[in-house]
Amino acid sequence: MFQPLPRLMVAPNGARRTKADHPALPIRLGEVVETAVACDRAGAEGIHLHVRDTDAQHSLDVGLYREVVAAVEQAVPNFFVQVTSESAGRFGPDAQMKMIRDLRPKSVSLALRELMRAPNEVAGEFYKWARDEGICIHHILYSPDELRQFLDGVSDGLIPGTDHQLQLVLGSYAGTAPSRPQDIDAYQVLIDGRKGDLALDWMMCAFGSTETACLVETARRGGKMRVGFENSLWNADGSLAKNNAERVSEAVAALKAAGQTLSPEDK
């Protein structure tokens, strides 16, 4: 079994936003490490990392990833650390798979729709290689239809194993689809339908000022939560958050108010 996903993970920057979107968006190494420390104190239990090149553009550079992973692990030894393989319109599946093969991270997020741009036999061989090497893929699924496609891939043997980690998405980054707590229903029906034969460790993310409400509902249903500036810059009241730690703090407070806890110690 892979290391379980943390109950609450911060995604502090993403691939697209810049300082023009928010001056506290962490981009450089020192900023990312400071954010990790602050979010740990605020109650997060892990971090989802993106790196940027010298022009602040999204990158899959293995050296940059090694540097930031080492720095975060040193600063926050208890943190779950995950990297991304996101294409962000810049990289194809060959580059994504090469980054993962070269870096060999403990945990990496990978969108089903992005890897499946490669031929099935290539994607299937990669999924098998990653599992054999002990690399945990956190599968990003942008809709219930993609979750259904993923589950079919598991049943067909394209995606090996019976234990999987899922990143489910409510709404859209561009705001074309709203993030609504009730839309968890369609995902949960599919997850519940496979409880007998699969162990699915699932996490939810949402966008905009409804992010907090979506996370609380996710926790109520037994899911895990991803919060932070990659997905939302805003608090539940519509105000602009000061920084990622404020988003984490609001989520933690909302969870407590709803009778949810992050751990036995109730971080």
**Per residue in 102-115, pLDDT tens?**
999 999 999 999 99
Burial degree of 189 (CB within 10 A; 0-12, 13-18, 19+)? exposed
What are the pLDDT digits (tens) for 179-191? 999 999 999 999 9
Residue 263: pLDDT band (50, 70, 90) is low
For residue 264, pLDDT over 50 is answered with no
Q: Side chain identity at 175, as an amino acid letter?
A: G
Give the C-alpha separation, 74 to 70, whole Å: 6
Residue 267: pLDDT band (50, 70, 90) is very low
pTM of the model: 0.96
Which tokens go with 95? 């580059």
Which tokens go with 85? 């393989």
Residue 175: pLDDT band (50, 70, 90) is confident
Residue carrying the six token digits 């110690």 = 265
Cβ(194)–Cβ(187) below 8 Å = no
What does residue 140 show for φ and ψ, rounded to 5 degrees? -85, 125
pLDDT of residue 262: 74
Mean pLDDT of 57-64: 98
Q: In this prediction, what percent of the chain has a pLDDT beyond 70?
A: 98
Average pLDDT, the chain: 96
Cβ(204)–Cβ(172) below 8 Å = no
pLDDT of residue 164: 98
Residue 1: pLDDT band (50, 70, 90) is low
For residue 261, pLDDT over 80 is answered with no
Residue 17: pLDDT band (50, 70, 90) is very high
Give the C-alpha separation, 213 to 188, whole Å: 17
Mean pLDDT of 61-90: 97
Identify the structural domains of the chain with CATH numbers, from first to last.
8-257 (3.20.20.70)
Q: What does the DSSP assignment read for the chain?
A: -PPPPPSEEE--S-SS--TTT-TT---SHHHHHHHHHHHHHHT--EEEE-EE-TTS-EE--HHHHHHHHHHHHHH-TT-EEEEE---TTT--HHHHHHHHHHH--SEEEEEHHHHTTS-HHHHHHHHHHHHHTTPEEEEEE-SHHHHHHHHHHHHHTSS--SEEEEEEE-S-TTSSS---GGGHHHHHHHHHTTTTT-EEEEEEE--GGGHHHHHHHHHHTT-EEEESTTT-SB-TTSPBPSSHHHHHHHHHHHHHHTT--SSTT--
For residue 215, pLDDT over 60 is answered with yes
Mean pLDDT of 118-130: 98
For residue 174, pLDDT over 90 is answered with no
Cβ(60)–Cβ(99) below 8 Å = yes
Cβ(35)–Cβ(244) below 8 Å = yes
